[in-house]
Structure 1
Amino acid sequence: MSKSKKLLEGKTIVFTGSRKPVEAISHAQSFGAKTNYLPLVETIVRQSEKPDFTEYDWLIFTSRTSAEVFCTLNETVTAKIAAVGDQTAAVLEKHGHQVDFIPKVFSADHFIQEFPPISGVAKCLFIKGQMAKNTISSMSMQVDEWTVYDTVLNSDNAKTVTQLKDVVVLFASPSAVSAYRQAGGDWSTIQIAAIGHVTKKAIIANGGTVDFTPKKYTYIEVINEIAKGSLST
């Protein structure tokens, strides 16, 4: 896709995730878009007693934040590691951990379909945030959980986003969707981009219509979808 056409000139894209996606913001700007970063959720690390990692065959991570918290421990583990998403895996690999499994589709519900044939009968530790659903723990194998961070809604930023019109608002989690709706957000005044089918379902369940969603669940790909002006279904 040629960026010389400035396909997003005249558009404003609002990023709302807990982490500022610097590369994706630059990518959007290279297409001519104006950008704004207004996180609707924030993460707070818990100070909790760490488990005995030697008891587990696999450690499972479904978010970049959980991987980052784990890596601050500087643990050397013998367990294999499973990660949902390239960015989650990249954090772990940057800190010297080998990632043994990544699902083809970056979501927990696809993970639980692809992972059991790889792991066999195994004892797993799911390292997670407090708002993670029970999808991973629903697997038939033993899955213990260790919650390492909390997610809180940023109501001030949510109110700011609800006042915006004629912009593309990018939602990357159901939590961000909740923050927007709780602040009184009106779907009809914005275009809506979603990363992941779980986020897309949350938007639809709250009365919205998703205009842009990428087949690969990354910020870069959703910017490409917006630039193409097409909806992947």
Structure 2
Amino acid sequence: MNSEKPLTNERILLTGTAVTKKITSYIQELGGQVEHYPLIQTTELQQKEDEQLLRRSMNFDWLIFTSQHAVEAFAAKMVRFDKQATAWSVRIAAVGDQTEQALVAAGFSVHFKPTRFSADTMVEEMNTVITTDEQCLFIRGSLAKNTLVDGLHCHVETWTIYETIESIKYAAAMLEAIQAKSNCTIVFASPSAVRVFERTIRPKIKWSQLHIAAIGHITEKALATAGAQQIITPTVYTMQAVIDEIVLRKDR
């Protein structure tokens, strides 16, 4: 194996909503090829009360974001109603690095981030810094679970700000790519993408024929439930970490 280009002749198939230039460049620097077959889409939810809800969010003690998509939808509403981040004096909680980066890009400072990028860890660690009389607003997507709502010991309200939609638009192309070529690893970042893959692609190919990687233990669990084996899962829930783990597995 070329130690400088450990992913030479390897294809990394990404199934999320977007592929950043940073991660594309990183894979290419390692000698790999990036192919993007999004199996889900996200769309900002708009309603007539949005401006009122945006103003109301300024009155909470904490705003909680567990997805960069939530930040992007929130930022879109800020632009629409001509609001700047300086109008908020609340504290901000972000589940991980990508969510934090999106918040910083929108003009916010992040006051809390868990040591492990998961809702379970966020509940455990955030409960050590909040008080029971604080008011928290969880800004979430349509498929978000109630882990934070049920687990945090402050008062938590929710605002569903974007919708996750399963997409089969690229499923046929992805199947063709898997069948036509070798040396590919499929990266899943959400259980929703796993469900689309299981329904549209997996019936035509065996799990044993695939190299699979997951970002996050919930996505890993969804893959295991669907029958995937030897799932590559980094301890840090980021795209770069999963690429690094793929490289490590190749070295073993």
Is the pair's TM-score, using the shorter chain for normalization, greater than 0.5?
Answer: yes
**How many Å apart are 1:17 and its aligned residue?**
0.5
- 1:125 corresponds, among 126, 137, 141, to 137
Give the Cα separation in 2 of the matches to 1:135 and 1:20. Answer: 27
More moved, 208-217 vs 140-149? 208-217
Change (3 A) 1:96 1:184: closer
**How many Å apart are 1:102 and its aligned residue?**
0.4
TM-score, normalised on structure 2? 0.85
- 1:176 corresponds, among 153, 171, 193, to 193
TM-score, normalised on structure 1? 0.92
Equivalence map 1:109-120=2 (5 Å)? 109-120=120-131
Report the equivalent of 1:39. Answer: 38
**How many Å apart are 1:29 and its aligned residue?**
1.3
Larger radius of gyration: 2
Give the Cα separation in 2 of the matches to 1:214 and 1:90. Answer: 20
Give the Cα separation in 2 of the matches to 1:188 and 1:137. Answer: 38
- 1:195 corresponds, among 190, 215, 222, to 215
More moved, 126-135 vs 151-160? 151-160
**How many Å apart are 1:94 and its aligned residue?**
2.0
The letter for the 2-side match of 1:44 is T
The letter for the 1-side match of 2:29 is S
Change (3 A) 1:3 1:78: farther
Give the Cα separation in 1 of the matches to 2:115 and 2:24. Answer: 25
Give the Cα separation in 1 of the matches to 2:162 and 2:69. Answer: 8
**How many Å apart are 1:210 and its aligned residue?**
4.0
**How many Å apart are 1:22 and its aligned residue?**
2.1
**How many Å apart are 1:90 and its aligned residue?**
1.2
- Say whether the 8 Å CA contact 2:42–2:162 is kept in structure 1: yes
Equivalence map 1:1-233=2 (5 Å)? 5-48=4-47, 49-50=49-50, 51=53, 52-72=56-76, 73=78, 74-75=83-84, 76-121=87-132, 122-139=134-151, 140-163=153-176, 164-165=178-179, 166=182, 167-185=184-202, 186=205, 187-229=207-249
More helix by share: 2
Amino-acid identity (%): 36
Give the Cα separation in 2 of the matches to 1:18 and 1:69. Answer: 14
Q: CA RMSD in A?
A: 1.9
Give the Cα separation in 2 of the matches to 1:205 and 1:142. Answer: 34
* Matched residue count: 230
The letter for the 2-side match of 1:177 is V
**How many Å apart are 1:147 and its aligned residue?**
0.6
- Say whether the 8 Å CA contact 1:174–1:202 is kept in structure 2: yes
Gaps of 5+ in 1: none
C-alpha deviations, 1:21-40, integer Å up to 9, x for none? 32112111111112201111
